[in-house]
Amino acid sequence: MTPRLTIVMPMKGRHLFTFRFLWHANKARLPYRFLLADGLVNEAVARRLEDSRKGFPELDIEYVRYPDDTDYSRYFVKMSDAMQRVRTPYVMLADNDDFLGFNGIEWALDFLDTHEDYVCSRGHQLGFSVYSGIGEKAGSIYGKFNRFLLDGDYKEFDAPTAAERLRQGGLCHRLHYAIWRTAGPARIMQEIAEINFSDLMLYEDFFALRALTLGKAHLDNETISYYSQSGTGVSYQPLRDWARHLLRSRFTSDVHAAVERISLAVADDTTIAEDVRGILERRYRAFLSNNYGTLAQIKRTLRNKWPRVAQHVQTRPRFSVRRERAAMLSQLHGAGASEQDLKRICGELAEIACVLSPAVFADYAGPLLPIARADAGREWL
């Protein structure tokens, strides 16, 4: 049966995370197309993915080699090109350190099939962390569930005009992982490549804002469409010297370019540019306070003075995880999830827990380790 959804996944190293993602999708027999855009090609990995039927017989995979992502510009060009390769009516972006929620994705696809005035739809995003042992780094590739955090989004961005939706929605970064009509993110990625942002935070902000100019965005409150592992991201840089960064980047000029693009997309409202600037001002003011304010400075000092203690606090086993799981399920039930929906979500969590199991993962990943050791110069995790 022809799939109606393509999962576009950028790659740059971290090959074991990629194999973990595909291993889970294969075990779940997800009926989608997977387009892997590789910006750091490893020959051994490439050969396995180009002959993916052997390792992942249940998946429809297209693996594309791109030049190395040596800077943001090449990454943006890669993602724009990858979006142009999508041939299904719907598309979804995913990172290789996360997992897909089949039940929530199917809900979103069915919704879009019957609501032509919406450009994207999604379920909730569930964040989780894992505990892999005392002294292990945060963001391990395997371990036991150690935390659950359901996003607090409950907004339906359904205002009739783009300007109203921007004022209604502001910055909803989780739209990045929504299920989209293919034309939407293809256009956004093309514009991002044209602007060529000098900072990934600007890329994320522009995507969230531009998304709301394209049409209505739906949230299925009772489902989960994306499971996001915390502590494994590569774009977050809390220790960066922002004063130095601002003096040596195009940050402010890039902001002006983003505002101009949004304004052109909402040409019927002459005040939208100032509204967008206000949204971004609040975003960056909060960002600077959270990362460079007094409390952040104290935390940074403690981490530098007692790094082992800080690492223990960050990676310790948390005994509240069962309570957090129960609260998450109760929250979904209160939003309208049926007992059958909750059962499916519990099944998805059980499948992810199996993939994260140290013994099970070691058994799967064992044959890959000689490849990793033979290519120590590349980033495998």
Write down the pLDDT at residue 362. 85
pLDDT in tens, 235-272: 555 556 777 888 888 999 999 999 999 999 998 888 99
Cβ atoms within 10 A of the Cβ of 153, count? Answer: 16
Report how far residue 25's alpha carbon sits from residue 90's, in angstroms, rounded to the nearest whole number. Answer: 18
Query: In whole angstroms, how far apart are CA 349 and each of 32, 34, 223, 228, 346?
Result: 20, 21, 13, 12, 5
**What does the block give as tokens for 6?**
């393509």
pLDDT reported for residue 345: 97
The C-alpha atoms of residue 194 and residue 248 are separated, in whole angstroms, by 20
Residue 144's Cβ-side half-sphere holds a number of Cα atoms within 13 Å equal to 10
Across residues 49-60, what is the average pLDDT? Answer: 95
Locus of tokens 């007094």: 294
- Side-chain-facing half-sphere of 236: CA atoms under 13 Å: 7
Whether the CB-CB separation of 229 and 138 falls below 8 Å is answered with: no
What is the pTM (predicted TM-score) of this model? Answer: 0.93
Q: For 187-207, what is the mean pLDDT? A: 95
Out of 85-94, 95-104, 125-134, 234-243, which region has the weakest mean confidence (pLDDT)? 234-243
Tell me which of 131-135, 285-289, 355-359, 374-378 is least confident. Answer: 374-378
Residue 268's pLDDT is what?
A: 81
Mean pLDDT of 227-236: 79
Rounded Cα distance, 375 and 314, in Å: 30
Model pLDDT, residue 177: 97
Distances (CA, A) of 143 to 71, 134, 139, 212, 319: 32, 11, 9, 37, 15
Listing DSSP states for 174-237 in one string gives GGGGSEEETHHHHHHHHHHHHHT-SSHHHHHHHHHHHHHHHSEEEEEEEEEEEEEETT--SS--
User: Per-residue pLDDT tens for 301-340?
Assistant: 877 777 777 766 777 888 899 999 999 999 999 999 999 9
H helix or E strand, kind and range, residue 121: strand 118-131
d(C-alpha 238, C-alpha 241), whole Å: 9
Which tokens is 175 given?
């739209």
Q: How far is CA 118 from CA 70, 97, 108, 184, 204, in A?
A: 36, 28, 11, 11, 21
Q: Output the pLDDT for position 4.
A: 96
pLDDT band at 378 (very low <50, low <70, confident <90, very high): low
Q: What is the third-level CATH fold of 5-374?
A: Spore Coat Polysaccharide Biosynthesis Protein SpsA; Chain A (3.90.550)
AA identity, residue 284: Y
Mean pLDDT for the chain? 90
pLDDT at site 165:
94
- Angle ∠(94,100,102) on CA atoms, nearest 5: 135
Helix (H) or strand (E) holding 163: helix 162-169
d(CA 316, CA 142): 15
Q: What is the pLDDT of residue 240?
A: 66
Residue 357: is it exposed, middle or buried by C-beta count within 10 angstroms (0-12/13-18/19+)? Answer: middle
Domain ranges of the chain: 5-374
Residue 157 has what DSSP assignment? B
Orientation of helix 358-365 relative to helix 15-28, angle to 10°: 110
What is the model's pLDDT at position 210?
A: 96
Q: What pLDDT is attached to residue 241?
A: 76
Residue 314's pLDDT is 72
pLDDT greater at residue 284 or residue 381:
284
